[in-house]
Amino acid sequence: MRKMILTIGLSLLLGSAALGRPREGSILDGIRPGPDGKIDVVTIFPHQDDETIFVGGTLLIAKQDPRVRTHIVCFTLGDLSSARDYLHITGEELAKIRIEELQSAATVLRVDELIQLDHPDQGLPKLPPEALAEEVREIIERTGAEVVITYGPDGMTGHSDHRALSAAVFAAFPQSQAQRLYYVSLSRFWSGVFPNEAKLRPQPATVKVDIAPVKKLKGLALSTHASQKFYSGWLLNLGMMNRFDHEWFARAAEKQ
């Protein structure tokens, strides 16, 4: 009898946990191809490695659909990473290194287009929000995006560039032709323990993508960001993100 009660209790517990869990699926569910018959997936992040850490596997999985084109947009030069001090190099030198690292990662991730902009690192919060949103809108139009992916208002780590760009993408989305906006997220457990300097938590995931079949390629793409892997405070997280079999996304906005 006691065993039965325990079993019922356990299944109730598991059932309630399952309610709050994201379903496993595709970020492309319900997305219609554009007039050219293609589905353009665009990541918009401030630094070289943001996209690889949180969306690398999903970009590879998305490309298994022959209609999909992927685009990476990197807004800043990444010149203020702590790798600059560790390596005793200038911001200009670090920017050159990181841009080449991202180009290598994009090759590994089979990305169709890489758009590298030249805003200074940590410069996005200093821009007028409307000007940044307008720049984002123009880029979304230029890529022909159906799906846009960026950080949520938490910025995942709380970084000020992450949060400023998230707000700009959210503001630009309704004026663009894109159909759906996702924020990168994490599992419930990792949402609670992932280091965030602003003490904010990611928006709960609504879908998790199984990236196990492409995990080795994602690992290779992560290792192309060698300056960050070996010479920045992100060492722990670059390694950590390569252990997961999923990437998580919260559906942030949708247009019919």
Give the neighbor-by-neighbor strand order of the sheet with 39-45.
23-24, 207-210, 246-254, 180-185, 147-150, 39-45, 68-76, 113-119
> SS3 of 155, please?
coil
> Is the distance from CB of 254 to CB of 173 less than 8 angstroms?
no
Shorter beta-carbon distance to Zn ion: residue 31 or 139: 139
Residues 6 or more apart in contact with residue 189 via CB below 8 angstroms? none
Shorter beta-carbon distance to Zn ion: residue 28 or 106: 106
Shorter beta-carbon distance to Zn ion: residue 31 or 102: 102
- CB 27 to Zn ion: min, Å: 20
Among 28, 43, 44, 47, binds Zn ion (CB under 5 A): 47
- CB 203 to Zn ion: min, Å: 17
Alpha-carbon gap, residue 113 to 170, rounded angstroms: 22
- CB 44 to Zn ion: min, Å: 12
Name the residue type at position 110.
R
- CB 47 to Zn ion: min, Å: 3
- CB 9 to Zn ion: min, Å: 43
Alpha-carbon gap, residue 237 to 4, rounded angstroms: 42
> SS3 of 119, please?
strand
DSSP letters spanning 165-211: HHHHHHHHGGGSS-SEEEEEE--HHHHHHS--TT---PPPPSEEEE-
Among the residue ranges 3-11, 41-49, 143-151, 240-248, the one whose residues contact Zn ion (CB under 5 A): 41-49
Among all residues, whose Cβ is closest to Zn ion? 47
> SS3 of 76, please?
strand
Among the residue ranges 50-58, 104-112, 139-147, 233-241, the one whose residues contact Zn ion (CB under 5 A): 50-58
Among the residue ranges 4-12, 48-56, 198-206, 232-240, the one whose residues contact Zn ion (CB under 5 A): 48-56
- CB 76 to Zn ion: min, Å: 8
* The two structure tokens encoding residue 252: 């942030």
Shorter beta-carbon distance to Zn ion: residue 22 or 46: 46
- CB 46 to Zn ion: min, Å: 5
Q: Binding to Zn ion by residue 229, rule CB under 5 A?
A: no
Shorter beta-carbon distance to Zn ion: residue 43 or 223: 43
Neighbours of 199 (CB within 10 A): 7
Among 27, 41, 48, 50, binds Zn ion (CB under 5 A): 50
- Cα separations in angstroms, 126 against 1, 120, 121, 153, 243: 65, 10, 11, 17, 35
Shorter beta-carbon distance to Zn ion: residue 47 or 137: 47
Shorter beta-carbon distance to Zn ion: residue 40 or 50: 50
Residue ranges in contact with Zn ion by CB under 5 A: 47, 50
